[in-house]
Structure 1
Amino acid sequence: MALCSAILLPQNLGLNTNSLSEDFSPASPPPKEALEAQGNCRQPHRSKLASRRPRGRRPGGEELHLCGKTAIMGAFQPPKKAIFRGDVSVRIPLTPSECTEDRSTSQNASEAFTRVDSSGEMYGWSGELGSGLYYLIPFTTGCWLKKEKKHITEEAKLVCRGEKGELFLTKKFRSALSDIFDIIDLDGNGLISLDEYNFFELRTSGEKCDEDAWSICKENFDTKKNELTKQGFMDLNLMEANDREGDPSDLWVTLQSMGYNKALEMVEACPFVIDIYTEKCRPRIKAVHLGSGGLPFEKALCQSVIDKGDAKAMDSQENVFLHTYKSDFRITSVLENKSENKVVIHVNNELSKNCVNNRSLSIFAVELAPKSTTVCQHVMPMNERQEWVYNCVYSLVS
């Protein structure tokens, strides 16, 4: 199981509005008849959620545009071909936009905690949003989706040579490439556009493919409607193998950036499909590049906990606060230092039972700069089928 999150941020990154937090039960998409009768529209969007990004890689997200005030539901579901194991939890905090046309609706935007399991069951969030532009940014809390520690005894082969010495991709590698193709095919049309390919490039190499390079790519590999086909994508990787005379080092960099281990198992990425349903307007949703260090999603997460969680002054200090948000599935604590001095907070989770946190430590310390706020820890049950007790002691170190 992995705890994965996504923040919906406003276009202008304003964070001075209120946000709420609620937990939701499994949700089903509106039936087809209801969509046709009410004029609702369904805009599927495929995205990769909470895969671990190597240091320096630029994060990506989704841009959601609503042209009017509307009831909305976001449904989340693993792909039909499950390419990850275990359960996935998805949390969608919605931070309303200051640039929305309908302020009254956007002020009541909520964050939702949804749960998607590996059985393929669909869960989601529903509510009402005003017109405006929002960003949906996936990230992980780190409670369950951690660096893979499994020892791989035998590295999978990516390429082999035929009787005449020609290189070809192994069946297992082609299967992995097929899954990667489906992930980066964000609009689900069976082809990869330049924009979609650049998400792949930024993810795996940190660089973008320009128009000239894309034109050369289209001249040498199978395309349709100026977009790369799956066979073209396979041939592109075969060319890379040939350029390196069969050395798979660069191919492994690509695979590991996409969440695969040396056994060609996707263990550090959680793909999922987003379906957006609206009642009164047609939404537009597309993937966007977010420059590193750009959108302050941690600040938005802190703000949502401060707005909804319980606040407590630390050791009778008037300027140092502990904010705690609790739900049935997750606890998040945020530390806020309003003083002019640096403070150190000692955190002890030893009295908690059946709990796991994102720091993987029962005891740790957090250094908090003056006039700053930070996420202290996320806590989840280690086994959701058993009772879990959160009993954490926070103390201010003098």
Structure 2
Amino acid sequence: MEVQESGDIGSLNQTLKLMGYNRDLQLDQAAPFSLSVYTVRSIVSLTPRPVVVDSELINKAICRLAVEKGMAIKVKNLNDLSLHQHQLNHRVTIVVQNKSHSTVKVRLDCSKSENCTSHQHSLDCEVEVPPKNSVVGHHLLQLIPSIPWKVDCVPSLILL
């Protein structure tokens, strides 16, 4: 919203810095935390909610970072469709890049991953990628920091 209002990318960089992110969109000035809730009489139900960002610019920046710095694998040996997995200590971002001239739908099955959760509702999801575009498929986070985690994502093409 800041960039749309002011047209100044510097204000976006400043906002991200204040949120704890560096220029590579790595969270380096903040720490993940855990929340413990204890009650005497009440039953409490907590539901984690994703941070919803409607900014196209931030999504493009995340995709670009994953494409430039992540590990790339081709989907179904297609030259125009690839999966980029960018891994940090606390997060793995999986981006699908579509260089073709038509929309594709890709299934990202991360159900064999261990000790992690996704911003998606399931570790097994489908993403639709417009032509000449990239889309974030999963932001995977470690569930229990004291236990090792493993990310295993199997992409497959879905015919439209």
Match of residue 392 from structure 1? 153
User: 1:354 offset after TM fit, Å?
Assistant: 1.0
Query: CA offsets per residue over residues 115-171 of structure 1, 9 Å max, x none?
Result: 42669xxxxxxxxxxxxxxxxxxxxxxxx8507xxxxxxxxxxxxxxxxxxxxxxxx
- CA–CA distance in 1 between the matches of 2:86 and 2:13? 27
- Identical residues among aligned pairs (%): 22
1:387/1:369 Cα in 2 relative to 1: closer, same or farther (>3 Å)? Answer: same
Determine if contact 1:350/1:362 at 8 Å carries over to the other structure: yes
Letter in 2 for 1:146: R
Higher strand share goes to which structure? 1
Contact map agreement 1:358 1:378 (CA 8 A) in 2:
yes
Alignment RMSD, CA only? 3.1
- Unpaired runs of 5+ residues, structure 2, are 1-6, 35-46
67, 87, 90: which is aligned to 1:306?
67
The aligned runs of 1:126-145 (5 Å cut-off) are 145=48
CA–CA separation in structure 2 for the residues paired with 1:327 and 1:294: 22
5+ unaligned residues in a row in structure 1: which ranges? 1-10, 14-60, 65-73, 77-89, 95-109, 120-143, 148-267, 269-291
Matching residue's letter, 1:116: A
Q: Which structure is higher in RCO with an 8 Å CA cutoff and minimum separation 6?
A: 1
Q: What's 1:355 paired with?
A: 116
Equivalent position of 1:113 in the other structure: 27
Q: Given the superposition, is the C-alpha separation of residues 293 and 394 from structure 1 closer, same or farther in structure 2, using an over 3 Å criterion?
A: closer
How far does residue 62 in structure 1 lie from its aligned partner after superposition?
A: 5.7
Q: Is the 8 A contact 1:93 1:301 kept in 2?
A: no
Checking the alignment, whether the CA contact within 8 Å between 2:86 and 2:93 is kept in structure 1 is yes
Report how many residues are paired: 137
**1:62-77 alignment, distance < 5 Å:** 64=14
The answer to whether the 8 A contact 1:334-1:376 is kept is yes
Q: Is the 8 A contact 2:110 2:123 kept in 1?
A: yes
Query: Which letter maps to 2:21?
Result: I
Letter in 1 for 2:59: E
Q: Please, which of 39, 49, 59 is the counterpart of residue 146 of structure 1?
A: 49
CA contact (8 A) 1:345 1:366 kept: yes
Contact 1:93/1:304 (8 A) holds in 2: no
Give TM-score, length-normalised by structure 2.
0.71
Correspondence for 2:21: 92
CA deviation map 1:330-383 (0-9, x unaligned): 100111111011211111122111110000202221111111111111001111
- 1:321 partnered with 2:82: yes
Q: Does the C-alpha gap of structure 1 residues 62 and 387 become closer, same or farther in structure 2, counting only changes over 3 Å? A: same
1:330/1:378 contact within 8 Å kept? yes
Partner of 1:367: 128
Distance in 2, Cα, partners of 1:394 & 1:317: 12
**1:343 maps to 2:104:** yes
Does the aligned pair in 2 maintain the 1:320–1:336 contact within 8 Å? Answer: yes
